[in-house]
């Protein structure tokens, strides 16, 4: 049986973790990107569909390409980060279900229903994006997830050869500089947004 994590782990994953707008000048290695994936892929998705498709912008050239397609306020954040990632979603994820979910004919559940695939791709790639954030934090890294970019342009630039893959959100990645964060925004108590029935 699992035991609750200690306070230090809870602080690192949730309570003291923050979204960063800038990072220390310390590189993120390709091995660290692999380590993030190897954790985040273990998070649950519907029928193990794993629809997220990630593009890791590790080189300065790749970060510049992505920054050019972002809102003005996000461009420098992307250019100056040690790394950035595009969390995309494959709307034809069902093609991989015979391998990923061999327990049933799950591919047939989605074949011929493009709208259902879009909904599942968005929901489950968003879950995987959350796992990305927690995996990075668990490995001692910080993130700066964001919208604020031209989805269509990013899709064309980075997923042009995969027309069924669409961008969901993007994030910077590195060792966060505390000087770049705002004061923490409010997090309401249970009763404000929860119902217990």
Q: What is the CATH number of the domain that holds 98?
A: 3.40.109.10
Domain assignment present for residue 44? The answer is: yes
Residues 134-165 pLDDT 10s: 999 999 999 999 999 999 999 999 999 999 99
CA separation, residue 89 to residues 21, 51, 92, 123 (Å) = 25, 5, 9, 9
At residue 1 the predicted structure's pLDDT band, cuts being 50, 70 and 90, is: confident
The DSSP element (H or E) to which 45 belongs, if any, is: none
Domain assignment present for residue 87? The answer is: yes
The dihedral formed by the CA atoms of 2, 42, 32 and 34, expressed in degrees to the nearest 10 = 150
Q: Is the model's pTM score more than 0.75?
A: yes
If one counts every other C-beta atom within 10 angstroms of the C-beta of residue 63, the result is 21
Domain assignment present for residue 6? The answer is: no
What is the DSSP-derived secondary structure letter of residue 182? Answer: P
Q: Contact at 8 Å (CB) between 109 and 142?
A: no
CA 66, CA 74: separation in Å to the nearest integer?
A: 10
Handedness of CA 136, 140, 141, 146 (dihedral sign): positive
Residues 15-55 pLDDT 10s: 999 999 999 999 999 999 999 999 999 999 999 999 999 99
The tally of domains found in the chain comes to: 1
Host domain of residue 141: 20-178
Domain assignment present for residue 50? The answer is: yes
Domain assignment present for residue 65? The answer is: yes
Domain assignment present for residue 197? The answer is: no
Domain assignment present for residue 189? The answer is: no
Domain assignment present for residue 156? The answer is: yes
């Amino acid at each position: 049986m699992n035991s609750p994590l200690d306070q230090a782990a809870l602080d690192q994953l949730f309570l003291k973790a923050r979204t960063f707008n800038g990072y220390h000048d310390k590189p993120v290695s390709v091995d660290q990107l692999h380590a993030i994936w190897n954790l985040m892929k273990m998070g649950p998705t519907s029928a193990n569909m794993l629809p997220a498709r990630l593009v890791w912008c590790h080189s300065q050239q790749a970060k510049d390409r992505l920054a050019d397609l972002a809102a003005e306020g996000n461009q420098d954040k992307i250019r100056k980060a040690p790394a950035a990632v595009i969390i995309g979603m494959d709307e034809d994820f069902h093609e991989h279900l015979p391998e990923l979910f061999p327990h049933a004919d799950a591919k047939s559940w989605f074949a011929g229903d493009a709208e259902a695939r879009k909904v599942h791709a968005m929901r489950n790639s968003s879950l995987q994006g959350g796992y990305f954030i927690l995996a990075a934090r668990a490995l001692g890294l910080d993130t700066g997830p964001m919208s604020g970019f031209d989805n269509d342009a990013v899709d064309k630039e980075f997923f042009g050869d995969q027309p069924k893959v669409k961008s969901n959100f993007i994030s910077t990645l590195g060792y966060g500089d505390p000087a770049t964060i705002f004061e923490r925004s409010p997090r309401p108590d249970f009763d404000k947004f929860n119902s217990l029935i």
